[in-house]
Amino acid sequence: MEQGIDHSTLDQALRRCGSTWDASQTHGLLSGRLAIAGADSGFDWLTRVLEGTDQADALRVECEGLLGALFATTYQQLAERLSAFTPLLPDDHDSPASRATALAHWCEGFLHGLVSGEHGADLRARLQAEPLADIIRDMLQITRAATDEDTDVESDEEAYFELVEYVRVAVQLAFEELADLRQPGDDPAADAVH
């Protein structure tokens, strides 16, 4: 991912500060909250990820810095609509099984981000309509992703990359589909037009 924070660095920082969230879940949650609330999702997202950690701990402060950078970059990638968005997942040198698990966790976080919090009738209706209903169903399927020990590594790699590309595009679509339900001043791209 282009934000300069890699999966391993964030994952280790989250563990050290005592968060129960892993890096993939955290970025998925952030992406879902950004689709729903845009820039206003920052405090809620950070509170959820760091729930139960010691606010006075220097490790939490380090983690907050990484999460702040992740928030800013992810929001910019989605809001600028330049297709730069990529889910934060382990590097290609990690095992197919660990990458499949991380992708499943990413989707769990994203779904949690979409459905958590208070939702008005308009948002609930939008989440139940196409294309968002399809995205939600597909992400639920991906949460059950696993590698098949009976298939060859090349097939697993190809399937994994196809799923990552689907998730990447689906998140951008969800962000676009929910744009009119976010606060009017929340979209820098729309502000630039006016």
**pLDDT category, 189, cuts 50, 70, 90?**
very low
Q: Per the domain annotation, does 51 fall within a domain?
A: yes
Q: Return the percent helix, strand and coil in the chain, to nearest 5.
A: 70, 0, 30
Domain count, the chain: 1
CATH number of domain containing 150: 1.20.120.740
Look at 6-15, 133-142, 155-164 and tell me which has the smallest mean pLDDT. Answer: 155-164
Q: Per the domain annotation, does 194 fall within a domain?
A: no
Q: Per the domain annotation, does 128 fall within a domain?
A: yes
| pLDDT tens digits for range 91-127 | 988 988 899 999 999 999 999 999 887 778 899 899 9
Q: Per the domain annotation, does 193 fall within a domain?
A: no
Q: Per the domain annotation, does 2 fall within a domain?
A: no
Q: Per the domain annotation, does 72 fall within a domain?
A: yes
Task: Print the domain residue range for 67.
Answer: 7-186
